[in-house]
Each structure stands twice: as C-alpha cells, then as structure tokens.
Amino acid sequence: MSAVRGELEEKRRGQDRRRQPTPFLSTYSLTRRGRRMGPRRRRDRLTYGYADRYDVPLVLTLVTALLLSTADAFFTLQLVARGAREVNPLMNFFLQMGPTPFLLSKYLITGASLLFFLAHKHRPFFAGVTGRHLLFAVPFVYTLVILWEITLSLRLP
C-alpha cells in the first residue's frame, strides 16, 4: 500500500515545467501574483521549500509578533529607566548606545528572524518542527515576556 501511495505521490503529468525552484525571496510575494503556497510533494519540502504566497493567519501572526516585540522593547526601556538591567548581552550592547539604536536593532533583528521563519514555513528544523510552528510560537513567547515585565514593573519603585 505505501509503495502505491509513493508512486501516486511522485507521479507527474509530463516533464517538470519549473526552470528553477522558487527563490528564498520572491518578487511575486510582494506583487501577490505568486501561485506557490509551498511544495506539493513531501520530498520537495527539503529541495523546493520556499513559497511565493503566504496565508493570512501566518502574516497576521508575523505582524502580531512584531507589535509584541515593539511593546517588549518599550517595557524594557521603562524598566531600565527604573533601575532594572537588560540580561540579553546583545540587546544590552545596543541599549548602551541609546534608546534609538536599541529600538531599531530590536525591530530589525526580530523582523529578520520572523521573515526567515516565514520563508522557511515548510522546512523542518528539528524533530518535525517547521518554520511555521516557530513563527506561531513567537507571539506566545513575547506575551509571556511582556507579562513578566509587567510583574517586574509592579515590584519596582
């Protein structure tokens, strides 16, 4: 039965029409003219894992994560102004440069990471966890961080 399923899954109607796989960053993603939501075959996920169209829940999750990241940055600035310290060494480096470099670097690093997860939404990273799973986890993690920051702000004078 599995051999038959494998044959059906790999069956093509003629030659593969793609001249090349969808690139990591596709201009079709910006123009909304793209047609590929992802690979059609399981074996293509490791070879042709990129898409040029993204579903609405995934994009809304990305925007939510960026907004929560920005809220986290503002809460961090408020806590540092009240005597707390940044424990992340990279963010502490940018914080020492001032609030603007801190906010800008936080936004750019988070945005680049989220775009990486979005572009690799079908690619398994470890134990079957894909970029899509990681992208959906980011807002949850930021929510926990913000709740912790609110708790800290209630404890500080």
Location of structure tokens 């809460």: 75
Q: What is the mean pLDDT of the chain?
A: 79
Pair of tokens at residue 116 = 């990486």
How far is it, in rounded angstroms, from Cα 136 to Cα 124? 14
Mean pLDDT of 18-30: 52
3-state class (DSSP) for residue 25: coil
State residue 123's pLDDT score: 78
State residue 8's pLDDT score: 45
Mean pLDDT of 113-129: 84
State residue 7's pLDDT score: 47
State residue 51's pLDDT score: 57
State residue 122's pLDDT score: 76
At 68-101, the pLDDT tens digits run 999 999 999 999 999 999 999 999 999 999 999 9
In eight-state DSSP terms, residue 156 is -
Burial of 49 (0-12, 13-18, 19+ CB in 10 A): buried
| Band (138; pLDDT cuts 50, 70, 90) | very high
| Band (5; pLDDT cuts 50, 70, 90) | very low
24 pLDDT higher than 60: no
State residue 52's pLDDT score: 60
Sequence-distant (6+) residues with CB within 8 A of 5 are none
How far is it, in rounded angstroms, from Cα 1 to Cα 64? 43
| Band (132; pLDDT cuts 50, 70, 90) | confident
Q: What's phi and psi for 36, nearest 5 deg?
A: -90, 115
